Structure 1
């Protein structure tokens, strides 16, 4: 038996696994949404709930290691009870580092469940995919009939600011949305560095930053879509609406531009969807 094989049960080798899980239940009480239940395994935590706007519960999800190495699996599960109002975000960019010599997958699964008349915003900061990563990102959103949701997923391949491109590795990303147990959005990207998908004009066209904002819960008027088209630069940003889901997409080379555009879209969409102006989480400004 090799040294690597003998160490595998201790967390090394092709079988290595580092598991973390966070489960939340948000419940309205009187005029405020409370964190009713909290359970965690491994290095996933939250700061205490904040209430910078009426009774909306702002939660900051913390991953103290700061990044994912081979074998890391993060699972975030939030159940939003009827009439609850919540905003979930992260204090900094997520990082997925290069894979080990065994190529063990590293990634994150997010599962959000919204009961009738629940409102939830899932607004994490961007994810940085380091060169030679083997990343899997899976977001699953289950909505009752009258639930309202807005969220985004922003990804940067490599670290352009540090002249560290993504020329080796792979990324799998999946985003699925159900409304009343009907699948209304199902997207699956499987991207290998240097592949035709990454380089072709009908794919990523050599760009390294991509993002998707989705909003659902009301019928958005054509005037709102036109306002967003006028506000966001083209061709980097595009908009579609289908099966009750509004999508704002970015494809380009500048995460600052992507982030700023998504913030602007959020400012326009939130008052229409949730009947309140935006309230910037203070963690974004520190």
Structure 2
């Protein structure tokens, strides 16, 4: 099936989603949800009673050239939200216009965010710019991952042409903890050893015990995986060939780290079990 998206004009969907979480006496609630265009959320779930589990819905059918999407998430003091998605994000082949996805997260002191989106699939010929920025305080808690799939490996389809600019930032009290860029052009994947899967996992605050535990769980990913700990930010980076292995390792690490980060047992989002 041809996966070319039909672009009738340069300027596509202009979509915005602004989420604000706050803590009440007994639980975290979605205090405000404002959206424009094809970005929205489902009704919050409370499988843990106090933590707000929320599913973010991307545009139906995926993102095409000319689309511009902006997601903003804010958490007040002592609030705790877990956000994931029912399915993978998709950037389709573009005839020229660039597609943009910008995501900004702001955590107050003692706020906890678990940002666990499904993978983002970039079809051959996509022209995509992605940016994810996390603003923390010294007393915030963050667990997040950024999972990119270049092409569709299950169909033996590679990212043989196209452009990707991916930027990931973590700031604490206005100072940068991490600023990383990945730029791929013309289907040249030599900078990532021609692997279709590229991932980064973040955990703050972390310690040496958490770092060693993560390293022990990286074995299934082989030689192209490693973890570092700088200024209490644990950063895991990997390249991989197998989606099932990636999912298994990421969830295993989340289940290991979550009790250490939040003092809460792992409770899998319902959508992961369907």
Instruction: Classify the TM-score, shorter chain.
Output: over 0.9
Alignment of 1:134-213 (within 5 A): 134-195=127-188, 198-199=189-190, 203-213=191-201
CA contact (8 A) 2:12 2:64 kept: no
SS of the residue corresponding to residue 139 of structure 2 reads coil
Give per-residue Cα distances to partners, 1:23-80, cap 9 Å, x unaligned: 0110000110011111000011111010011300011001241310111111110110
CA contact (8 A) 1:106 1:135 kept: yes
Q: Which runs of 4+ in 1 moved over 6 A?
A: none
Q: Which has the larger radius of gyration?
A: 1
**TM-score, normalized by length of structure 1?**
0.90
Write the distance in 2 (CA, Å) between the matches of 1:98 and 1:204: 21
Alpha-carbon deviation of 1:277? Answer: 1.5
Alpha-carbon deviation of 1:245? Answer: 0.9
Q: Does residue 262 of the first structure (1) align with residue 250 of the second (2)?
A: yes
Alpha-carbon deviation of 1:108? Answer: 1.0
Q: Does residue 31 of the first structure (1) align with residue 26 of the second (2)?
A: yes
Write the distance in 1 (CA, Å) between the matches of 2:49 and 2:217: 29
Write the distance in 2 (CA, Å) between the matches of 1:227 and 1:64: 37
CA contact (8 A) 2:133 2:168 kept: yes
Query: Any gaps of 5 or more consecutive residues in structure 2?
Result: 1-6
Cα RMSD between the aligned structures? 1.3
Q: Does residue 245 of the first structure (1) align with residue 265 of the second (2)?
A: no
**TM-score, normalized by length of structure 2?**
0.93
Give per-residue Cα distances to partners, 1:179-236, cap 9 Å, x unaligned: 00111100011111443xx22xxx211111111000112x412x33222222221313
> Among residues 73, 96, 113, which one is paired with 1:120 in the alignment?
113
CA contact (8 A) 2:77 2:108 kept: yes
Report the equivalent of 1:236. Answer: 224
Alpha carbons of structure 1 residues 285 and 193: separation in structure 2 relative to 1, 3 Å: farther
Q: Does residue 21 of the first structure (1) align with residue 16 of the second (2)?
A: yes
Write the distance in 2 (CA, Å) between the matches of 1:64 and 1:170: 21
Report the equivalent of 2:212. Answer: 226
Alpha carbons of structure 1 residues 17 and 66: separation in structure 2 relative to 1, 3 Å: closer
Write the distance in 1 (CA, Å) between the matches of 2:225 and 2:104: 26
Write the distance in 1 (CA, Å) between the matches of 2:58 and 2:212: 38
Report the equivalent of 2:48. Answer: 53
SS of the residue corresponding to residue 70 of structure 2 reads strand
SS of the residue corresponding to residue 270 of structure 1 reads helix
SS of the residue corresponding to residue 257 of structure 1 reads helix
CA contact (8 A) 1:96 1:107 kept: no
